[in-house]
Each structure stands twice: as C-alpha cells, then as structure tokens.
Amino acid sequence: MDKLVATRDGMESEPEVHRPKLVYPFAETPKPGEAVDVAAGVKWLRMPLGGSLAWINVWAIADGEGWAIADTGMGGADTQQAWRKAFAGPLAGRPVTRVFVTHMHPDHIGMAGWLTRRFHCKLWISRLEFLMCRSLAADTGREAPPDALEFYKAAGWDEEALETYRARFGGFGRGLHALPDSFHRVRDGDEIRIGEHLWRVVVGSGHSPEHVCLYCPELKTVITGDQVLPKISSNVSVFPTEPDGDPLTEWLTTLAAIKARIPDEVLVLPAHNEPFRGLHARIDHLIGGHERNLVRLRTAIAEPKRAVDVFGALLKRRIDGGLLGLATGESLAHLNCLIARGEAVRRRDAAGVDWYQAA
Ligand SMILES: [Zn+2]
C-alpha cells in the first residue's frame, strides 16, 4: 500500500493494485545536491518539499556551455541549499543558460527568480502560467475576498471552515522567491533547440492553465511536470476566481491529445515519484479514473446534493480540515463537467448554497 499523500499538486488516492504496471528503469534516486543521468545530457535532481509529497524532480539539460534547468523547487532555504550543493557538485563549472518552468505552482516555479538572477538568464514559460502566477502572488497578504467566501459557502462549507479559510488566505506567494519581471514565451508546438537536440512543447490544461511538457523525439524522452504523474492523480480543481470553469473537460481533452502526440516508448520524466515507461497506459488509467468518478457522481446526485455531500463518490478517504479545499475543488470540477455535458443541473437556494441534481 502506498503512503497516501495530498498537496496542491494532487492526491495518491488509488491503491497500487488498480494501477497499470509501469516500468521504473532507475534503481537509484538522487540525494539532495546529487544527480542521476537519465538520458544523454539529461540529469535528474530532486529538491526537498518538506510536506508529505517529500520531493520534486527537476532536470538539468546540457545546453552548449551550460545547463538548461527544467522546474526549480519550492522557494526557501532548503531548496537553495540543495541547488548550491548541485552547483558545487554534478553541475559544477557550467552556468545555467535558461530556466524552463512547466507551470506556476510554487514547487515548480518557486526558485525561478533566484536561479535567473543568479545566472542572469531568462525564464522560459507559457504566457498564461506566468500571468496566473503573478495574479495569485498578488493575493499574498490580502484578506480573503467576498467572492471567495461566497464560493465556498455555495459549496456547502460551514462557518468554521470559512473562518479557517479566512485565516489561511494569501499564502501562495510564501513559496515563491521573487519572480522574474519578464519572461521568454513558450508556446504549444514550439520546437526549441537545447544543446544538441530539439525539444517540442506540448501544452496541457486542467491542472494549471497552460502547462508545458517538453518532448524530445531524438532522445525519446518527455518532461511531463504534473501533467502525467505515475502514482498521483493530479489535482484538477475549480477555484473561486472562475466558479463556472470546466477544468476537467480541458484535462481529459489535453491528456488524450498528449497520448496522440507523444509515442508510448518514451521515457517519462515526471515531477513527482520516479521516471517511468508506460505513458499511454498511465494516461488511459487517468482518463478512465475520472470517467468512472463521473458515473459514480451522477448516481450520487439522483437526489439534490451540495458539493460537500459528494466527496465519497470521488475520494476513498475521509476528508478532514486540511483536505477540504482540495476535495471541494475536485468535486466542483467533476460537477461542472457533468453540467457542461448536460448531465446535471445546479440550483442556488435562498441561503446561497448550490444544489446539484442529475438531469
Ligand atoms: Zn502542480
């Protein structure tokens, strides 16, 4: 049985027996500040996260005179120390040429500002990820806005849960080293030469708005960030800034597109857990899991239910305070997807609470 973990990135909610058999070709995992070679000119490093997820994988790709970095770790002293050790060890003697970031979550972009300033290089990121990160970082230190409180009240949160939300609001920027003020835009379909090889940009959406995967056909390798993880079902959530959003449809559509655009034989370099082979089986399993959840959810709302009443249809675990936000966001993503498919309707009652029922 796997250790169950949950963060902004997602939850390990499936027991191992239900997963497809993936192949993990590397026996060893890198210690902080050390590296394991995973493809020609591509090194695997891990940065500490402190929480239950423990590590994020980051990648150094030989880029002429130096290293292109892909993802950077959570902002903070522990990650700085791990990077310093790497620059004194396996990456020594060559500068960072540019910093790619798959998406705007703090464990991925957190150290981007520190790295780009230290090496006077550019952040390479998609436009929506950069802007969304700036937007969320601007909430740091603000009070929880009325729109957000109305959103969680509509989902069925009680006064105590709303109070906890108020008290914790504005924490996003704490995991970020000050962001760079400019960036180099990366777009879906771009072909980027890094060192001796071309890497193709394949964008996904749903976990974050314009998530970049980097696929190198010559090396038969793809850096997937949080878009495809081997053991975690990535968090796909509706947030208060866009209550009517349908990220799950985007997630399912882009996962299917990634399967069509990237062959099965690649080595997958994910942001969490270990590099693996079995991309297509993993994508099929992820899509199948959400479709099964949608079927269970539709049954669960035969009678009108609130978002907080349907956690059991999606997650096989007890939801306590720390997971309430994640579970609510995931439930709303599935409910909004059913509404978009014409399979459910939503009605707001006089108290401002939304009730969902199968159509
Ligand atoms: Zn993420």
pLDDT digits (tens, 9 = 90+) for 195-247: 999 999 999 999 999 999 999 999 999 999 999 999 999 999 999 999 999 99
pLDDT in tens, the chain (359 residues): 223 344 556 665 555 556 788 999 999 999 989 999 999 999 999 999 876 668 999 999 999 999 999 999 999 999 999 999 999 999 998 999 999 999 999 999 999 999 999 999 999 999 999 999 999 999 888 999 999 999 999 999 999 999 999 999 988 888 899 999 999 999 999 999 999 999 999 999 999 999 999 999 999 999 999 999 999 999 999 999 999 999 999 999 999 999 999 999 999 999 999 999 999 999 999 999 999 999 999 999 999 999 999 999 988 777 777 789 999 999 999 999 999 999 999 999 999 999 999 99
Query: How many angstroms separate the alpha carbon of residue 196 from the centre of ligand 1?
Result: 29
Query: How many angstroms separate the alpha carbon of residue 130 from the centre of ligand 1?
Result: 14
**C-alpha to C-alpha distance for 236 and 220, rounded to whole angstroms:** 28
CB crowding 216-240: b at 16 or more within 10 Å, else e: beebebbbbbbbbbbbbbbbbbbbb
Tell me what pLDDT residue 1 has.
24
Tell me what pLDDT residue 5 has.
42
Query: How many angstroms separate the alpha carbon of residue 206 from the centre of ligand 1?
Result: 10
**C-alpha to C-alpha distance for 291 and 3, rounded to whole angstroms:** 24
Tell me what pLDDT residue 268 has.
98
Query: How many angstroms separate the alpha carbon of residue 105 from the centre of ligand 1?
Result: 5
Tell me what pLDDT residue 6 has.
45
Based on the number of CB atoms within 10 Å of its own CB, is 318 exposed (0-12), middle (13-18) or buried (19 or more)?
Answer: exposed
Query: How many angstroms separate the alpha carbon of residue 358 from the centre of ligand 1?
Result: 31
Query: How many angstroms separate the alpha carbon of residue 108 from the centre of ligand 1?
Result: 7
What percentage of the chain carries pLDDT values higher than 90? 86
Query: How many angstroms separate the alpha carbon of residue 109 from the centre of ligand 1?
Result: 10
Query: How many angstroms separate the alpha carbon of residue 112 from the centre of ligand 1?
Result: 15
Query: How many angstroms separate the alpha carbon of residue 119 from the centre of ligand 1?
Result: 25
Query: How many angstroms separate the alpha carbon of residue 271 from the centre of ligand 1?
Result: 9
Tell me what pLDDT residue 53 has.
65
Query: How many angstroms separate the alpha carbon of residue 57 from the centre of ligand 1?
Result: 12
- Asked if 346 contacts 301 with a C-beta cutoff of 8 angstroms, the reply is no
Based on the number of CB atoms within 10 Å of its own CB, is 93 exposed (0-12), middle (13-18) or buried (19 or more)?
Answer: exposed
Tell me what pLDDT residue 9 has.
63
Query: How many angstroms separate the alpha carbon of residue 211 from the centre of ligand 1?
Result: 9
Find the largest Cα–Cα distance for the chain: 66
Tell me what pLDDT residue 320 has.
73
Tell me what pLDDT residue 21 has.
86
Query: How many angstroms separate the alpha carbon of residue 208 from the centre of ligand 1?
Result: 7
Query: How many angstroms separate the alpha carbon of residue 106 from the centre of ligand 1?
Result: 8
